[in-house]
Structure 1
């Protein structure tokens, strides 16, 4: 079983209420400001980040349904793309294929990882500890969130 202990509090201020933000590898590029959000069904890759990753536009598949946000605003997508994402570092990393909706919107994040990917990864997230644990290639893996300074 996956458990969290006091050791997982390292570097975390429990009164801060920081979001769970990690670094992942997508298409062989390190991507910072990746938000772990357990509240939605769509993994999001923001358009400016997609452009910086230098991924061929030919991989984009059409998607015509808009996203409906928290304030019921509609955000149109530029399609979707399936890309490999690596969580963690070797030897305790895990690489899976993720379908991202491509969204052009103003945000402080580059990627938002949602429930489908967390479930596929077998991840358990503790926002209190700012830690995500999952089965990795070398056993159980752990990723710590980046705290605000």
Structure 2
């Protein structure tokens, strides 16, 4: 039986998952590199990456992304896709830091949404800014659509030449 090629993306640690929820959560650059290598060996070609401080707190710190990306690239040949989502409440400047790490791909959130008890803000001016930075740096955006309306938003943004 012939199968069509597929791209498998592994989100190896999630945005706000904690070690209390799972003891297997990779936090350090070494752990992230090891997990990425396991996923690559299982067939993943893209690693979706979030990073954390040593205490497990989500962060968009460029230095931590750089360290994690180096650890991943040292262990496997995958496309690294950094998150620009960060965590609810982070500023646009914080969330954009991973774009300076030269990933091959990065997430581009298509719109705002309710996230638990909070609102995850992704207004169009920020989406346009992130898209422009990705284009300038030749980073391929992965469009994050959390509901059907976000698909329409992406089509509108494409019509505007933003993506």
TM-score, L = length of structure 1: 0.25
Which one has more relative contact order, counting CA pairs under 8 Å at least 6 apart? 1
TM-score, L = length of structure 2: 0.23
Higher strand fraction: Structure 1 or Structure 2?
1
